[in-house]
Structure 1
């Protein structure tokens, strides 16, 4: 089947109003007082980007990624004109074609989010054309559900519940001195108390620390069951990561890859020998086609993979169920209700610390306000 149209639309979905955005959470901007109190004060374009691909039979596939108007522009003004008319017989080839077309300018961040949005929509369209769930196209899944760890600002809400772990967002970085370090340690102690002795806890530093601070923190939490520290420094600072890995308690892993936007970025991390857990985001790192290659590389390196923010991405759940042995997935706690849970269909069911494997052949279905945004954009897209 050939592609007849591709279009993208950036839609406000409330990302910047969630608690993890409005509360004190460390970030690369924490050292600037104006932006230290919340991620919402500086975060990159936060509208969700929905991508619609139409086949020659009139059927549609949907993808969703981040990056707001920037990614919308890349899809509409660049990738769409390259992809319309192409045959969908080889999705890996189409993915490589999109990525190569952006290589002279950018091979990370917004560029690969755009590639991911289109790629996810192509896989969705392919599954719908066969009237099969995506998980079957990816090889099928034996398990009906997968174990979940929770990223949450409220660990007490998950106390004594059978989740595979609880992860905190670090509130402070080096700019907050000893008091900030003590506060970060107190967060870990609070999480450990809620989790209990048999449930590991983790912390996400969101690129806000440096090697010295990471080592000080690791020493300070030596009596707490910390499974990993996530993204303490920039993933391209290989020397800094190698120093951390060399000097830090070997019982604490480094979880990296959230900000690795392609298999090339992930390969660099894997070659460094520092990765304890690789955590690429399918909707940021080039989509399903790229993620399949990343999973293969990590398996060869014997490094476990936990796909970032899995439970908000049915395609990531399908990948974990079909292509990983002993998969573990992440759910980000956004409160009892959030539109971010239902951007491509019903909220995934989580019970007993496990999430259901997605098996609905209806595939990705965006909510009505997203469909309305596409209808409103049709005249402008046609003129362009």
Structure 2
């Protein structure tokens, strides 16, 4: 079957209204006073980008990624014209074409988010054409559910509730001095108390720290065991990462790769030998096709992978279930209700610290408010 149309629409799903955006959370912009108190004050375009791919049979595949109007523009003005008229079954070649076409300008960030959105839609299209599920396309799974750790700003909400771990977003970085460091440690004490003695706790620094601050934090935490420190500095600062790894307690892992946007980025990180856990995001790192290769690289390097923000991405859950042994997945706590929980289907229900793997034969399906953004494009509810 040939692809007849590819369309992307950026839709506001309330990302900048959630607590992780409106409260103090450390970031690369924390050193600038104007932007220190809220991520929402500086964040990149935060609308979700829904991608619709249709073939000549009228079947529709759906994908979803980040990057707002920037990624929408890349898909609609560049990638769509490259793939329309191509045979949709050879996804690997289509993915390679998209990446090659962007190579002269960029192979990271927004560019790979755009590739990911189209790639995910192509996989969804193929599953629908085969009258199967993505899980089956990926080889099937013998497990029915996966253990979940929670990223949250309210650890007390999970006191006594089964989870595979609790992760905090660091509120402060080096610019806040000793007072900020003490506040970070106090926060982790709250997490340790809520988690209990047998549940690991972790912290995400979101590229806000430097090597010396990371080691000072780890020293201050010596009486409170933590499982990992996530993205303390930029992933391309290899010298800084090596300094952290050399000075860090061997029991504390470095979790990296949230901002590794391709197989090449992940390969560079893995070659450093400092990665304890690799955490690429399927919807940022070139989609399902690229992530399959990343998983192979990590497997060869014997580095475990936890796919970033897994529970909001049914394709990430499917990859974890089919291509990883003993996978652990992430759920971002956005409060009791959020549109972000249901971007491509019903909200996954977490029970006893586990989430069921997606077996919905209908595949990806955006919410009605997102469908309306496609200007009445014909959608066959049986096929798309």
TM over 0.5: yes
Matched residues in 1 for 2:221 and 2:10: separation? 41
Matched residues in 1 for 2:48 and 2:231: separation? 23
Q: Which residue of 2 aligns with 1:267?
A: 267
**Cα-to-partner distance string for 1:132-165 (whole Å, 9 max, x where unaligned):** 1101100101111000000000111111222110
Cα RMSD of the aligned pairs, angstroms, is 0.9
Q: Which residue of 1 aligns with 2:57?
A: 57
Matched residues in 2 for 1:6 and 1:88: separation? 11
Matches within 5 A, 1:148-227: 148-227=148-227
Matched residues in 2 for 1:216 and 1:53: separation? 49
Per-residue deviation, 1:89:
2.3
- Gap regions ≥5 residues in structure 1: 379-384
Q: Which residue of 1 aligns with 2:92?
A: 92
Q: Which residue of 1 aligns with 2:334?
A: 334
Three-state SS of the structure 1 residue aligned to 2:336 is coil
Per-residue deviation, 1:54:
0.1
Per-residue deviation, 1:377:
8.2
Matched residues in 1 for 2:227 and 2:247: separation? 16
Three-state SS of the structure 2 residue aligned to 1:202 is strand
Three-state SS of the structure 1 residue aligned to 2:331 is strand
Q: Which residue of 2 aligns with 1:295?
A: 295
Matched residues in 2 for 1:298 and 1:277: separation? 9
Matched residues in 1 for 2:320 and 2:55: separation? 27
1:6 aligns with 2:6: yes
Three-state SS of the structure 2 residue aligned to 1:351 is coil
For normalisation by structure 2, the TM-score amounts to 0.98
Matched residues in 1 for 2:356 and 2:56: separation? 33
Three-state SS of the structure 2 residue aligned to 1:149 is strand
Matched residues in 2 for 1:9 and 1:88: separation? 21
Matched residues in 2 for 1:136 and 1:163: separation? 28
Q: Which residue of 2 aligns with 1:143?
A: 143
Three-state SS of the structure 2 residue aligned to 1:226 is coil
Matched residues in 2 for 1:59 and 1:87: separation? 13
For normalisation by structure 1, the TM-score amounts to 0.98
Provide runs of 4+ in structure 1 moved above 2 Å.
Answer: none
Q: Which residue of 1 aligns with 2:75?
A: 75
Matched residues in 2 for 1:20 and 1:290: separation? 28
**Cα-to-partner distance string for 1:181-239 (whole Å, 9 max, x where unaligned):** 00000011110000001000000000000000000001110111200000000000011
Q: Which residue of 2 aligns with 1:381?
A: none
Matched residues in 1 for 2:172 and 2:23: separation? 11
**Cα-to-partner distance string for 1:252-297 (whole Å, 9 max, x where unaligned):** 1000000000000000000000000000000000000000000000
Q: Which residue of 2 aligns with 1:36?
A: 36
Matched residues in 2 for 1:376 and 1:186: separation? 52
Per-residue deviation, 1:376:
5.7
Per-residue deviation, 1:350:
0.9
Three-state SS of the structure 2 residue aligned to 1:350 is coil
Matched residues in 1 for 2:377 and 2:171: separation? 40
Three-state SS of the structure 1 residue aligned to 2:146 is strand
Q: Which residue of 1 aligns with 2:353?
A: 353
Three-state SS of the structure 1 residue aligned to 2:227 is strand
Q: Which residue of 2 aligns with 1:27?
A: 27
Q: Which residue of 2 aligns with 1:238?
A: 238
- Gap regions ≥5 residues in structure 2: 379-384
Matches within 5 A, 1:110-129: 110-129=110-129
Matched residues in 1 for 2:377 and 2:60: separation? 17
Three-state SS of the structure 2 residue aligned to 1:27 is coil
Matched residues in 2 for 1:87 and 1:275: separation? 38
Per-residue deviation, 1:321:
0.4
